[in-house]
Structure 1
């Protein structure tokens, strides 16, 4: 299958081309501003499907709106007609096509020429009036408020929120790409005369700004955003794509003593926290129990033994653990427990607790195993 993608180096085009290759499509004709007219003519002759994503949204001169959005669409149709190629055409328009501004008027004109083409030739035309699209690879400080917020906050630059209550309708780039590929396979989501991305999010500017600032704070308090919220999950992934190249890593506080170290890695409100415990040879840590707090231990390096004794009992239960065999050991409530390094090297244990440590209510009581 020969697939023509115009605007292949743009935000949506770049993501689409990458996923088409991921899914095994090989013959992808990528049209950009650098592509010659002769090569575009060849593409229009051979194409079995056209993703028309090229357009102008931030020109120097307002007249470029019409030439870039209406004019190039007309040129594309002329070439397809020249070769009597009536393959399906999918184009990304904008919800601004409903507005009387230069950009909206030019997008509306581009839509109309495609509708006339469909009527004249019988070709299948799919028009998506997209709202605000956000995700990785979108150009900041250009025409996307989400990209601008993510980039500027990640780089410690200021942002402007003139109206925090302004509501935005947003679609995430992965959801857009999934819908476009569904359309390629005849499973488009129809919406009257147009098509739409079925998964949308409505958020205020204030909410987006607050969430983005919270992502930056996550590194300082070792927290993870609420990944159960679809929008937060998508926005956080977007934010991470704008982190400066020299700031991918960040330090953790290691609590070090002569026994080894203990370092908190991740803290979450609803799924507890993860820590890394390093014990030197012969060292025993623990000897405490919990009412409700529960944990999981995973030794990833070295050798050790985890001992348990039920409160009020004299029976000692032992679990021998090693980095050579990955196994998780649950720490049940009501059992005092400890972990001893019985090897000759440092023992490294990943420890998960079901709640963040609260110094005012630690639910941790000393008791020798």
Structure 2
């Protein structure tokens, strides 16, 4: 368990890193703002005594001169604060890029930033990261994956202007690498990449979107497929939910299609809950979980980890609807009716008690209080 200070903690990679640290049970990191970086005395006080400083802040897009100077100046500002720190951190980790030193303004600036931080004399980790993808990426900024996901979620078709090979690393894997934690659970600190072409990526995500508009689950044969689908789903939430289910009626009654999966693992189970009983109060890093109320009425509540706003859905068994839990959102379901609640759950993997991918946290609060996580 390490104490952390993070620049860029509210960005895409910063959020994924904070979520993983939360899942590991580590203390909340110190978030270093641009204002902190501008004042070396304030910065030195904030990083004093921490185990690890993660420098994730950077400029990825914009005018080439601004990109170059922005990345160099951010690293220089951090170095000034570190040099004035009476109790310097044990390790400084820089979220560098595989493009460092490639002759572009961005790549050369990243190389200079690494040299600047290495010059502090502190233990230094130069983490060369490939293209990152994952939940809640910022479209038209963080990655082409986020752009394609957002375009498809809005019902449009991605445009591919230049096809080339991509090496994509999930942001949680990159976070594990930056935190220096061993591979385990839902992350791989070795950062195995998904190798794909831009056009192939667009077509794959388009296939996911076409199936998911009908509430169907695309083929999920490996961890990258699961994570890529989770990235797409993050751009659908909450506007696309609840999802209607296909229903077929005849003289005998009705049949409702709850899950139609096109490949990969899966496990289905059901539960009953007495009035006012709540189940859940946890989040997952990679596991996809589907809730369908078959009998009774309930409220499904969700909150993105590290955020305060709660999204709520009222559901009942009269008109069964799907709400799929987005990864890295704390969620729960509460029986709001006078009678028994019957809920069907589907997850995309077999339950492994050694790696449950379930992290307890209350929906209504971001506090780190111990909560009993119910199945």
Fold agreement, TM-score > 0.5: yes
Shift of 1:235: 0.5
Shift of 1:143: 3.9
How many angstroms apart in 2 are the aligned matches of 1:15 and 1:90? 16
**How far does the alpha carbon of each residue in 1:297-320 deviate from its partner, in whole angstroms, 9 at most, with x for none?**
xxx879xxxxxxxxxxxxxxxxxx
Shift of 1:228: 2.1
> Any conservation in 1 of the 2:220–2:263 contact (CA below 8 Å)?
no
TM-score norm. by structure 2 comes to 0.64
Give the equivalent residue in structure 2 for 1:130: 129
Shift of 1:34: 5.0
How many angstroms apart in 2 are the aligned matches of 1:269 and 1:27? 40
Give the equivalent residue in structure 1 for 2:168: 170
How many angstroms apart in 1 are the aligned matches of 2:198 and 2:251? 50
How many angstroms apart in 2 are the aligned matches of 1:230 and 1:90? 26
SS of alignment partner, residue 247 of structure 1:
coil
Give the equivalent residue in structure 2 for 1:157: 156
SS of alignment partner, residue 95 of structure 2:
strand
**How far does the alpha carbon of each residue in 1:174-211 deviate from its partner, in whole angstroms, 9 at most, with x for none?**
21122222x1x5x69xxxxxxx8431111111221111
Runs of 5+ consecutive residues of structure 1 not aligned to the other structure: 189-195, 276-299, 303-347, 353-369
SS of alignment partner, residue 223 of structure 1:
coil
**How far does the alpha carbon of each residue in 1:96-146 deviate from its partner, in whole angstroms, 9 at most, with x for none?**
1131111111001111223333xxx3x211111111100012110124100
How many angstroms apart in 2 are the aligned matches of 1:22 and 1:261? 42
> Any conservation in 2 of the 1:266–1:274 contact (CA below 8 Å)?
no
How many angstroms apart in 2 are the aligned matches of 1:272 and 1:47? 42
Shift of 1:86: 5.2
- 1:213–1:270: structure 2 CA closer, same or farther, 3 Å change rule? closer
> Any conservation in 1 of the 2:47–2:89 contact (CA below 8 Å)?
no
- 1:157–1:244: structure 2 CA closer, same or farther, 3 Å change rule? farther
Question: What's the Cα RMSD here?
Answer: 3.4
> Any conservation in 1 of the 2:170–2:227 contact (CA below 8 Å)?
yes
Give the equivalent residue in structure 2 for 1:227: 220
Give the equivalent residue in structure 1 for 2:24: 23
1:198 to 186, 191, 199: 191
How many angstroms apart in 1 are the aligned matches of 2:244 and 2:343? 19
- 1:26–1:271: structure 2 CA closer, same or farther, 3 Å change rule? closer
How many angstroms apart in 1 are the aligned matches of 2:167 and 2:146? 15
> Any conservation in 1 of the 2:49–2:89 contact (CA below 8 Å)?
no
How many angstroms apart in 2 are the aligned matches of 1:127 and 1:48? 16
Q: How does 1:80-159 map to 2 (within 5 A)?
A: 80-84=82-86, 85=88, 87-117=90-120, 121=121, 123-159=122-158
Query: Is 2:43 aligned against 1:40?
Result: yes
How many angstroms apart in 2 are the aligned matches of 1:270 and 1:24? 34
Give the equivalent residue in structure 2 for 1:73: 75
- 1:247–1:74: structure 2 CA closer, same or farther, 3 Å change rule? same
SS of alignment partner, residue 191 of structure 2:
coil
The structure showing larger relative contact order (alpha-carbon pairs under 8 Å, at least 6 residues apart) is: 2
Shift of 1:27: 4.8
- 1:76–1:301: structure 2 CA closer, same or farther, 3 Å change rule? closer
1:56 to 51, 55, 59: 59
Give the equivalent residue in structure 2 for 1:254: 247
Q: How does 1:183-194 map to 2 (within 5 A)?
A: 183=180
> Any conservation in 2 of the 1:154–1:244 contact (CA below 8 Å)?
no
Radius of gyration: which is bigger? 1
> Any conservation in 2 of the 1:265–1:274 contact (CA below 8 Å)?
no
How many angstroms apart in 1 are the aligned matches of 2:176 and 2:265? 33
How many angstroms apart in 1 are the aligned matches of 2:253 and 2:42? 65
Runs of 5+ consecutive residues of structure 2 not aligned to the other structure: 184-188, 269-293, 297-341, 347-375
Give the equivalent residue in structure 1 for 2:177: 179
> Any conservation in 2 of the 1:264–1:273 contact (CA below 8 Å)?
no
How many angstroms apart in 2 are the aligned matches of 1:238 and 1:65? 26
Give the equivalent residue in structure 2 for 1:327: none
Q: Judging by fraction of residues, say which structure has more helix.
A: 1
Aligned residue pairs total 271
> Any conservation in 2 of the 1:2–1:47 contact (CA below 8 Å)?
yes
